[in-house]
Amino acid sequence: MAYPYAWDYRFYYPVFYWSFFLLMLVTDLLFKKYRIGQEKEEKAMEAEVKATIEDAQKLMVNSVAAIGRMIDEKDNYTRQHSQRVADYSRLIAENLKSFHPIEKEVDQIYRSALLHDIGKIAIPDAILKKTSRLTDEEYAIMKTHPVWGKKILAGLSFLPQADYGASYHHERYDGKGYPEGIRTDDLPYIVRIISAADALDAMNSNRCYRKQCSRNYIISEFEKGSGTQFDPEVAETVIYLIEEGKIEIPEGENA
d(CA 79, CA 72): 5
Cβ–Cβ < 8 Å for 249, 218: yes
Segment (H or E) for 96? none
Cβ–Cβ < 8 Å for 144, 122: yes
Nearest to 63 by CA among 168, 156, 202: 156
Residue 130 in 3-state DSSP? coil
Residue 226 in 3-state DSSP? strand
Q: Provide the annotated active-site residues.
A: 120
Identify residue 31 by its one-letter amino acid code. Answer: F
Cβ–Cβ < 8 Å for 238, 196: yes
Distance from chain centroid for Cα 33: 42
